[in-house]
Amino acid sequence: MRDENKYALLIDAENVSSKYIGIVTKEAQSLGNITIRRIYGDWTATAKNSWKDSLLENSLSPIQQYSYTVGKNSSDSAMIIDAMDILYTNDVDGFIIVSSDSDFTKLAMRLRESGKRVIGMGESKTPTPFVRACEQFKTLDVLYKNHHPVQKNNIAERMRRQEIKCVPAERALPSREAQAKDAQPITNLRAIKETVISLLDENSDEDGWMYLSELGNIIQRMYSDFDCRNYGFAKFGKLIESFPELQTRKDDSSNGITKIVLVRKRED
């Protein structure tokens, strides 16, 4: 039996909200065995209190980083140094870097040059260079929105709205609904559809068919942030079937068990 891939999980607590910890750990564990779990931040700051319960629950090792300069993320350099130490002294197959900070772009590129997988996780605001430097990128706020839909009848939310009415308009904070609407996939669905159609034109057989699995692999390589769940679909095949311009076909493989799915553009 093939051994699981081993990963180092490095979380920038200065740049990522603790509300994403469930998604982070679930996605990380689906990749393989997380042998190193470290989270970086100034743990003397009251703003980090929301993270503290998550540390023990998820076996995260907190790394203290004092904020020497106001407004500057002090965790960046520590994470980069630790990542390079792990690269040369530990037997891991890849790194999971959780941050929305573009400062990790060069680190991701360097780790991949050494043959390591690099999985990034951050919000949809993450700068494109870091997203593209990763082999895969998980958009946390979009996944969170899809897993935690806003309840319009939520009592706490209604109470919060009443409080906002008492605040001058220029000071009122955006509602949870407004914040959720801001969480959009980095690559929009229209771009994905246009790329799919272009790939079918270039890679299909004489009858216009292409293996669905091959198509999915190419899309993932082209767009590191691609995840069908970002668009509300549990499976890639379901996303493809939602495009009216395309059609799919299932064939039995030679063993009579495995289903092979093909896709092509609909004929006029």
Query: What CATH number is attached to the domain comprising 203?
Result: 3.30.420.610
Count of structural domains within the chain: 3
Residues 121 and 200 in one domain: no
Output 181 or 14, whichever has higher pLDDT: 14
* Per-residue pLDDT tens over the stretch 184-241: 999 999 999 999 999 999 999 999 999 999 999 999 999 999 999 999 999 999 999 9
User: What's the pLDDT at 223?
Assistant: 96
Do 45 and 128 belong to one domain?
yes
**Is the domain of 111 the same as that of 166?**
no
- Do 128 and 203 fall into the same domain? no
Residues 111-139: tens digit of each pLDDT: 999 999 999 999 999 999 999 999 999 99
Tokens coding 168:
């001058």
Question: Is 1 domain-assigned?
Answer: no
Is there a single domain that holds both residue 106 and residue 71?
yes
Q: Domain limits at 197? A: 189-265
Residues 41-76: pLDDT tens digits? Answer: 888 888 788 888 888 889 999 998 876 655 455 678
Mark whether 38 and 107 lie in a shared domain: yes
Residue written as tokens 């929305």? 100
Q: Which of 19, 191, 223 is nearest to 120 (CA)?
A: 223
Q: Which has the closest alpha carbon to 110: 65, 143, 152, 80?
A: 80
Same domain, 68 and 166: no
Please tell me whether residues 114 and 43 are part of one structural domain: yes
